[in-house]
Structure formats: structure tokens, C-alpha cells
Amino acid sequence: MADQFNASLGGRLRVARRQRGWSLGEVETFTEGEFKASVVGAYERGERAISVRRFVRLAEIYRVEPANLLPSAPVDGDVVIDLDMLAAGHGGDLADRYLAAIRLLRRGESSQEVRFADKAVIASLLESSARPVQSID
């Protein structure tokens, strides 16, 4: 599922870059090497996962709200996250970083709640085989 998410996100990054009218090389030039053309290309092809920090930075460069670049996650039924597994560290640093990014992107909003789409992304990041017992509301 992570590969599918990376490919979908990469496609959206490609569209944003092309809307700016830039080639991969022009991204590298504009960012003065902060984003190498080969790395951005790997993000766009879904061959390489992008960190939240670099994702947000690239969205800023493309002048697009990061939330508008996130693909919607296909979800069958209710999304349930095992909070015990997450608290025990089975979600790894990735889930913690994603939650921190949500808070960063939504600062200034009256609500800091985790939304349904957020739950879908977090669930895909966790990819846990354990039986879920609690949900984030």
C-alpha cells in the first residue's frame, strides 16, 4: 500500500511541477541544488519516499498547499487504528512525524483534530497485521 501511496503522491507532485512549467532540471536550478533533479524524479515515479519536511518544502516551492497534493487514500469500511500498538512504538517514527506535520499544517485553525483522511494515511503507514481495538475520533 505504501508503494501505491508513493506513486500517487509522486504523480501529484509531477502535475504541480508541470503547472509551474518547470523541468526536473529547472527545479534543481531554482532551488540551488536543494532538490536534485534525479531525486525529484524518483519522488515523482514513486520510487523513493519523500519525508514530510521535504514534501512541505517542495509544495512551498511549487506554491501549492501541501494538503492539496496529498492523494486520497482508498479505504474500505471504517478506518481503525490500534492506539495500543501505536503507543508501544509499532507505528514507528513515521506516524509520529506525520501527526506532527498535520499539527504544523493546521496551526491557526480552531481544530487540531485528526480527520478521516488523516486516519486513512496513518493506517496505511502503520500497515499493522494486529487486530485494531481503538480508533482515533
Mark whether 60 and 8 lie in a shared domain: yes
Burial of 6 from C-beta contacts in 10 A (0-12 / 13-18 / 19+) = buried
pLDDT at 69 over 70: yes
User: Where does a domain end: 44, 69, 94?
Assistant: 69
**Domain that residue 37 falls in:** 2-69
User: Where does a domain end: 51, 69, 87?
Assistant: 69
What CA–CA distance (Å, rounded) separates 20 from 27? 10
Mark whether 65 and 7 lie in a shared domain: yes
Count: domains in the chain: 2
Mark whether 21 and 36 lie in a shared domain: yes
Mark whether 77 and 137 lie in a shared domain: yes
User: Where does a domain end: 52, 69, 86?
Assistant: 69
Mark whether 53 and 22 lie in a shared domain: yes
- pTM comes to 0.55
* Residues 87-112 pLDDT 10s: 555 555 666 666 667 667 666 655 55
What CA–CA distance (Å, rounded) separates 65 from 56? 8
Mark whether 44 and 101 lie in a shared domain: no
Among the listed residues 137, 131, 92, the one whose alpha carbon sits nearest the alpha carbon of residue 118:
137
Mark whether 128 and 81 lie in a shared domain: yes
Mark whether 120 and 108 lie in a shared domain: yes
What CA–CA distance (Å, rounded) separates 8 from 5? 5
Residues 6+ positions from 65 with CB-CB distance below 8 Å: 59
Q: Which three cell numbers stand for residue 106?
A: 493546521
User: In which residue are the cell numbers 512541505 written?
Assistant: 56
| CATH at 57 | 1.10.260.40
Amino acid identity of residue 131, one-letter, is: R
What CA–CA distance (Å, rounded) separates 58 from 54? 6
pLDDT at 61 over 70: yes
pLDDT at 132 over 50: no
